[in-house]
Amino acid sequence: MENRKLCFASDYMKGAHPDILQRIVETNMMKTDGYGLDEISEAAREKIRKACRCKEACVEFLVGGTQTNAVVIDAFLRSYQGVIAAGTGHISVHEAGAIEASGHKVLTIPGHLGKLDADEVRRYVEDFYQDPNHEHMVMPGMVYISHPTEYGTLYNLEELKKLREVCDCYHMALYVDGARLAYALACPDNEITLPELAALCDAFYIGGTKCGALFGEAVVIPDPDRISGFFTIIKQHGALFAKGRLLGLQFDTLFTDGLYERIGVPAILAAQKIREALLKKGYRLCFESPTNQIFCIMENSRLEELQTKVEYGFWEKYDDEHTVIRFAADWGITPEETEALIDIL
Amino acid sequence: MENRKLCFASDYMKGAHPDILQRIVETNMMKTDGYGLDEISEAAREKIRKACRCKEACVEFLVGGTQTNAVVIDAFLRSYQGVIAAGTGHISVHEAGAIEASGHKVLTIPGHLGKLDADEVRRYVEDFYQDPNHEHMVMPGMVYISHPTEYGTLYNLEELKKLREVCDCYHMALYVDGARLAYALACPDNEITLPELAALCDAFYIGGTKCGALFGEAVVIPDPDRISGFFTIIKQHGALFAKGRLLGLQFDTLFTDGLYERIGVPAILAAQKIREALLKKGYRLCFESPTNQIFCIMENSRLEELQTKVEYGFWEKYDDEHTVIRFAADWGITPEETEALIDIL
Amino acid sequence: MENRKLCFASDYMKGAHPDILQRIVETNMMKTDGYGLDEISEAAREKIRKACRCKEACVEFLVGGTQTNAVVIDAFLRSYQGVIAAGTGHISVHEAGAIEASGHKVLTIPGHLGKLDADEVRRYVEDFYQDPNHEHMVMPGMVYISHPTEYGTLYNLEELKKLREVCDCYHMALYVDGARLAYALACPDNEITLPELAALCDAFYIGGTKCGALFGEAVVIPDPDRISGFFTIIKQHGALFAKGRLLGLQFDTLFTDGLYERIGVPAILAAQKIREALLKKGYRLCFESPTNQIFCIMENSRLEELQTKVEYGFWEKYDDEHTVIRFAADWGITPEETEALIDIL
Amino acid sequence: MENRKLCFASDYMKGAHPDILQRIVETNMMKTDGYGLDEISEAAREKIRKACRCKEACVEFLVGGTQTNAVVIDAFLRSYQGVIAAGTGHISVHEAGAIEASGHKVLTIPGHLGKLDADEVRRYVEDFYQDPNHEHMVMPGMVYISHPTEYGTLYNLEELKKLREVCDCYHMALYVDGARLAYALACPDNEITLPELAALCDAFYIGGTKCGALFGEAVVIPDPDRISGFFTIIKQHGALFAKGRLLGLQFDTLFTDGLYERIGVPAILAAQKIREALLKKGYRLCFESPTNQIFCIMENSRLEELQTKVEYGFWEKYDDEHTVIRFAADWGITPEETEALIDIL
């Protein structure tokens, strides 16, 4: 089956890396224990622990990003605590109140191209504890960031360490949403490796859905003693996947021979090419974004024609005559797709 | 890959029907809209509407059973309402409090081999409204049943109609958990077809995970005006599947040429054979169960040996010397598997 | 103002002990800090700690019983835990799902005249942990009992100690709802004093609303380190009372010169008298109940006349011709009220 | 009992209007039905309906403000909806996440001295519905404002009408938090009467705790058909007050001979006097605030001495050398208190 027009709307629109499909086909009639208790899942866990250089980590596989955020945040927070996030964070805006549905407030701080500034977080928490009424307010119990962010930007190592310090200082957990983590790992600018994440975070997830898996995200909790009852919390959130091996084998494949760490490369290269082509053709980029997403300011008049030829993402209104649109390159992008887009632009 | 020992522990241990796998492989590099807004999902919806003879039905695809129950119950109930279920119902016991997690009490009534009796439900609700303190209590807003039940038993049409009447009388929604629905539809004793379900229920789900799909359940709400905001509720529960077409194509396959209605047949035939063999060998069945599950009373001494050769489900302690165990036959069972089990018994 | 007919419907129908009213009047135009941070509240806390012989106890004052149960249970449980209670427990039936509203399942066990049996609790929890699927189920994190129970019955010291042992064994908190605690303390049969409660429970509340206060309940948590964020949890439940001193001064009064421990005496004596009169007149008591509530089996024909003269509580249908009704004697009952009731019977 | 130093920290620090105390004393030994089903509560409801010129209104009495907000918002919203509020709104900051605890997100918009601007609300909601991803976001189902606001400011009639129009346009409920409503009604600048509130809002509450009652708030829902199950929702929130008549008699007193509409007058006059004195003495007011609260910019060095003589509220840091403090005048303020404060300043 073929698509009628070019599609750069998002990075979860294709299926899975061929190696994953093959594993699914090969194991199809095998019978294994459910709920991730099978050997394939265990092997995948072990590979992830190794890649993170974190032997004791708790690794669990969930189905999707919003679900993962809701489960992890609920597992770490006490009922009276909330989670600090950028106002543009996925949990702040695009999860339909999933965090609040489990009773936790999202405490928003203005972000900078999707990133939280450690000093601003520190000030927020300091102000909180200095407020004589703070016991009438939601206690910040966690800091949520994404890497890459929703804007495709990256934290550098120094920034992440500073966030860690603030969290340590105020007994907050640090949680990284890695829905597009493969695109960070594949990016030359990226300083934050899996072992760094394991060393600096209380929890993070390795995104599969947007990074070559059919679906699935791998939660890593470097120190499992930080939480309790995680399996039951997963079940309570309706997030326990019956045929757990399906998740396990996807991550087992992604963590065989370092596939995950290089799977985003074609997308990064393609994005770079598209960015250069855009600039050459006189378009303006909205901001610097080194990963697989390209944010471009387009004249509205130009968009009408464009959308007959390519699907892109609406990002935001720029002014009355311009719109910011997003092109997302995915792990499976081909040179033909890239060229075809450049030709159209 | 092969299993070392026979495995009859449950019916979600294999992968998917080969036709489904083939569709997944064929469509892998296609790019489609996410979240079930793609054409494959829409085609699947249309096929399900036809199979249910219910043109206007809202059909949505979710990932798993507990998730589906939590989402549907939350969508139908107001914050002050609860859901009536058998004490042995899946939502009462085995969903880790997923229903309570969205604030709704499960109001349990003793079941009869997993079934609710309409007269007993009526009495419960009558007593509720006659209780002068009923406004201090959780109002029953829905009746939850499963078909087949957790005991593999079936409602007959008369029983379902009586439950409908009670629900009509007291403004309660009637919801059927069809996690194993294919095994009801394939059972000669079954009186309740898809069109009957659509005619008599406010909501039901067509189980995929245990019935030939890799994963997934199809929620059917015959009259969509009964609820509002369903898409957002799904998202809020972390239950919105990004690559929705994966769910769509599985149900599209299952509802092509009536596959779903016959996919359970091998399991029903095998279960019948196993039951006969058990009786012939002098074992006692714990109760009549006409679908794909077999509940057998075993001497504990016998179990020790048995478990080295076959995986079965623990059901409950019978007495100090006996245990009730469960064998589950699945859609993909082969005559060889059946024979091998019979030989062992 | 006078009541037109006798009123034995419940024990929260009058106002407050005159000493309390006087304190309210005296302090009316005083200005104090809010939220229980005032000196009167602190004095009351200190008196309660002394009465409980528990110097370190956290003592907080809340407004009503359902609120107190919801707050305390939420404070002790993790999100994946539930609370064990008798099926007839107040939290199981008459709190409109307040416990579930904060996400926690009430795990019911059949009670015996309102009481939980420690052996049955142990068996329930043992079965839970032995169930191979227990991680799919709600973990019991607390045992809730009431003393006196909803049936007016009392635990003896041995029974409470056995419950404590079970709780210790399975890391569950033990919580006693003392809505009517004064009527236990005033009862000659009672073995469980305030210091015993403090020694054996993780939390209990000393009921004010039904025991001589205008309103209010005093939560006692002998070891405050068992929980965290309690003040904020109270606020989050909408249970933080602005003019906290009003609660403080009521309990300060009730715990001055041992008033609380004797305030229930008139009710106990009156109830005893009424019971004797009922028996003498040939009525049957439904069960033994040594505190301030009397449960009597009445012919329905008799009730019609009776209800024109006295308000009583409906308890339950006994058979087609009889009903169990409840008379409740309160702390403020006068000999005249008692005599008037006896005359009518 | 006397206070050692002047106290202008808040307006809920004294007890109740003497007429209320007298009623409590007079009715103390009366026995009435609980939960607001008594005749006194009914009389109070009727008086409030008359004062609001709204015959059919549902009127219920609750204990405190946070509780009332949580109950009303939960009653109006569906599980997938949130409530729009100013970022400085009480529900946004100072209720410890009580709204989120029932699963609802507070959707904040920048306020202007505590007030929402109708055009900005309209833009927010328009943007929401124009966002192609809005079904992944929390739907705004209600607009929450306070009158007077947390800044002591007032909406004028035109502003309230414009908010009503926006709400009508987008099917949102309009809810007014009237914790300090008496101080609006007593203010010469105020344009919004009780009948206007009843005509323009879906719900509002008439504050008692800060306005002459010992405690209590009266919720008014002009069209009771807008919601269902309100009594049970109140109970579920732990907000059903057992001796309901205590709330009823307070509001019955406040709504006898128009007491409520004039009870705030002394506070308004005193605040005006204090403002004039402050200006005369060279202090700067932080902003215009026509009701009972005065917001004054003070040098930090001045504060040290001041706080030995008078309790005031900390509002916010102004700059490194100045702080904004709040003086609150209450319904029971005496000329002596006012003079004493002015002398100190």
Proportion of chain C above pLDDT 70, given as a percent: 99
- Which of B80-84, C191-195, D11-15 is predicted least confidently? D11-15
pLDDT digits (tens, 9 = 90+) for B100-118: 999 999 999 999 999 999 9
Q: Does residue B236 belong to the interface with chain D, where contact is any CB pair within 8 Å?
A: yes
Pairing of strands A284-285, D313-319: unpaired
Please indicate whether, in this complex, the C-beta atoms of B14 and A29 are within 8 angstroms of each other.
yes
Fold of B6-12+264-344: Aspartate Aminotransferase, domain 1 (3.90.1150)
Please indicate whether, in this complex, the C-beta atoms of D97 and A136 are within 8 angstroms of each other.
no
- Give the distance from residue B258's alpha carbon to the nearest chain A alpha carbon, in angstroms: 22
pLDDT digits (tens, 9 = 90+) for B320-337: 999 999 999 999 999 999
Average pLDDT of C179-187? 98
C-chain residues within 8 Å CB-CB of B70? none
- Give the distance from residue A10's alpha carbon to the nearest chain D alpha carbon, in angstroms: 13
A108: alpha, beta or left? (left if phi > 0; alpha if psi -120 to 50): beta
Pair of tokens at residue D267:
């506070």
Please indicate whether, in this complex, the C-beta atoms of A139 and C79 are within 8 angstroms of each other.
no
Average pLDDT of C301-312? 92
pTM tops 0.95 = yes
Proportion of chain B above pLDDT 70, given as a percent: 99
∠ CA C91-C93-C96, nearest 5°, is 80
> For residue B1, what pLDDT is reported?
44
Residue B66, CB-side half-sphere exposure with 13 Å CA sphere: 28
Reported as a pLDDT band with limits 50, 70 and 90, residue B293 is: very high
Query: CATH homologous superfamily for D6-12+263-344?
Result: Aspartate Aminotransferase, domain 1 (3.90.1150.10)
pLDDT digits (tens, 9 = 90+) for D17-42: 999 999 999 999 999 999 999 999 99
Residues contacting B52, CB < 8 A, separation 6+: B194, B195, B197, B198, B220, B222
- Nearest chain A residue (CA) to C237: A80
pLDDT digits (tens, 9 = 90+) for D257-313: 999 999 999 999 999 999 999 999 999 999 989 999 999 999 999 998 999 999 999
Distance CA C272, CA A94 (A): 64
- Give the distance from residue A235's alpha carbon to the nearest chain D alpha carbon, in angstroms: 19
D-chain residues within 8 Å CB-CB of C327? none
Who among D95, D105, D314 is closest to A97 (CB)? Answer: D105
> For residue A65, what pLDDT is reported?
98
> For residue B5, what pLDDT is reported?
83
Proportion of chain B above pLDDT 90, given as a percent: 96
Reported as a pLDDT band with limits 50, 70 and 90, residue D3 is: low
- Give the distance from residue D342's alpha carbon to the nearest chain A alpha carbon, in angstroms: 26
pLDDT digits (tens, 9 = 90+) for B73-96: 999 999 999 999 999 999 999 999
Residue C269 pLDDT exceeds 70:
yes
Write out the E strands in chain C.
Answer: 6-7, 58-62, 81-86, 106-109, 139-146, 173-178, 203-207, 217-221, 284-285, 293-299, 310-311, 313-319, 322-328
Cα A137 → chain centroid: 29
Residue A1 pLDDT exceeds 90:
no
Tell me what the pLDDT averaged over chain D comes to: 96
Could you give the ipTM of this predicted complex? Answer: 0.97
> For residue A4, what pLDDT is reported?
66
Q: Does residue A314 belong to the interface with chain D, where contact is any CB pair within 8 Å?
A: yes
> For residue C3, what pLDDT is reported?
57
Tell me what the pLDDT averaged over chain A comes to: 96
B-chain residues within 8 Å CB-CB of C101? 79, 103
Residue D1 pLDDT exceeds 60:
no
Whether C204 contacts C220, CB under 8 Å = yes
Please indicate whether, in this complex, the C-beta atoms of B235 and D136 are within 8 angstroms of each other.
yes
Closest to D175 measured CA to CA, from D254, D121, D215: D121
Average pLDDT of D197-223? 98
Chain D from 57 to 116: CB within 8 A of any C CB: 63-71, 95-98, 101-102
DSSP B135: G
- Which of A118-127, A252-261, D5-14, D52-61 is predicted least confidently? D5-14
Chain A from 163 to 222: CB within 8 A of any B CB: 209-210, 214-215
Proportion of chain D above pLDDT 70, given as a percent: 99
pLDDT digits (tens, 9 = 90+) for A193-235: 999 999 999 999 999 999 999 999 999 999 999 999 999 999 9
Reported as a pLDDT band with limits 50, 70 and 90, residue B3 is: low
Residue D52 pLDDT exceeds 60:
yes
> For residue C5, what pLDDT is reported?
83
Architecture per CATH, domain A32-262, reads as 3-Layer(aba) Sandwich (3.40)
Please indicate whether, in this complex, the C-beta atoms of C94 and B133 are within 8 angstroms of each other.
yes
D320: alpha, beta or left? (left if phi > 0; alpha if psi -120 to 50): alpha
Residue D5 pLDDT exceeds 90:
no
pLDDT digits (tens, 9 = 90+) for C203-255: 999 999 999 999 999 999 999 999 999 999 999 999 999 999 999 999 999 99
Please indicate whether, in this complex, the C-beta atoms of B243 and A215 are within 8 angstroms of each other.
yes
Residue A84 pLDDT exceeds 50:
yes
pLDDT digits (tens, 9 = 90+) for C77-106: 999 999 999 999 999 999 999 999 999 999
| Residue type (1 letter), A101 | A
Chain B from 13 to 42: CB within 8 A of any A CB: 13-16, 18, 21, 24-34
> For residue C1, what pLDDT is reported?
44
A89: alpha, beta or left? (left if phi > 0; alpha if psi -120 to 50): beta
Distance CA A235, CA A238 (A): 5
> For residue D4, what pLDDT is reported?
66
Pick the CATH number of D18-262 from 3.40.640.10, 3.20.20.70, 2.40.260.10, 3.40.50.300: 3.40.640.10
Residue A131 pLDDT exceeds 80:
yes
Pairing of strands A310-311, B139-146: unpaired
Strand order in the sheet with A293-299: A284-285, A293-299, A322-328, A313-319
Average pLDDT of A296-300? 95
B-chain residues within 8 Å CB-CB of D235? 135-136
Proportion of chain A above pLDDT 70, given as a percent: 99
- Selected residue of A14, A29, A31 to mutate for chain B interface (largest B Cβ count, 10 A): A31
Residue A88 pLDDT exceeds 90:
yes
Q: Where are the domains of chain A?
A: 6-12+264-344, 32-262
